[in-house]
Amino acid sequence: MKRVGVVGVGLTRFGRREDASLRELAFEAVKACLSDAGVSLRDVESMVVSVGSDELAFALQPSAQIVDYLGFHPKPSFRVEGACASGSMAVRTGWMTVASGLSDLVLVVGAEKMTEVPTPVVTEALGKGGDPMWEYPFGMTFPGYYALIARAHMARYGTTGEQLALVAVKNHHYANLNPYAHMHKEITVEDVLSSRPIAEPLKLYDCSLISDGAAAVLLASEDVAREISKGSGKPPIWIVGLGLATDALSMSEREDLTTLRGTVEAARQAYRMAGVGPTDIDVAVVHDCFTIAEIVAYEDLGFCEKGEGGKLIEEGRTHVDGDIPVNVDGGLKAKGHPIGATGVAMAVEIAKQLRGEAEPGRQVKDPEIGLSHNVGGSGQHVAVHIFRREG
């Protein structure tokens, strides 16, 4: 297998992007990515596209819109799908394309346009990511799924609403320092606890944002990566570990609601492939679609013992100056969650952190190894990727 590096990254501003369509958002991210690498689209050999929802895109093959708008045809391109983990599936697929030798330079693009329909329509559309026979028809939505997880975690480990609120406060703080983030608003624990209930115990500020946005990464084989790096002056960021795992579609089929089995298994695979462990991770982005999801991710990724995730955030250990900084870009919670773009944006963030290019106040000090964690649905697909900087 060939070694695979990230040689270019691009990101749009996340938020209510009334100024851009799906294809225009993708173009914006791709343009920034190619400029970052100092290459032309003509140099790219193939492309992988992530768009999470046909329903929200009003199209059966939304990737064709993006390929056409970029003028990429007739080169090979296709779309991958893994619900909210679609972006990381695209990065994994791009990695496989390069590692196999099929292509030496692959563009991975993730995009989503979510704000053109009312929030209840988005909630219903995403709810179909659950069991379409035994859950969705009976009114289950993703706030409901994660409320079940939160209740179970609180009952077993004593996790509190205040600890959940601390996740939101942290992520809003770092989003306020991130010019690409959807939400630029500092909040307090009291703001979270007094916000309106969505699915108890989750309140409005416990929930991630419905956003528009796009992200792109350029992946290259080692020889090509080094050549591009000479021109751009930016070191390759190597993808050294990949993990992917699944779990039961229906929540009723799961043995334990306080953990995502897919995260535990995907992390095991990624750590083993990279030859590292949880204590080696210098910076992480995790799938905080709801505040409880970040706390559960701390535990499932091995950053703390099971049941101690609430304590980890309470002690401030996941802040930028803590021993394991997590979601210092604002996370899904406050940076935004355009589902097809999320996993690709995670790769962009880790690459920027390892290059030392994040904004002041949220740049981790001298990181060498980064991790991304992306969940599809309520854990039906989970991807964990590990990145290492050159040298």
Judged by phi (left if over 0) then psi (alpha if -120 to 50, else beta), residue 152 lies in alpha
Pairing outcome for strands 237-246 and 381-389: antiparallel
**Among 14, 61, 51, CA closest to 178:** 14
Q: Which of 182, 337, 373, 385 is catalytic?
A: 337
The two tokens of residue 100 are 């196999």
Catalytic residue among 84, 207, 289, 304: 84
The answer to whether residue 84 is catalytic is yes
Residues recognised as catalytic: 84, 337
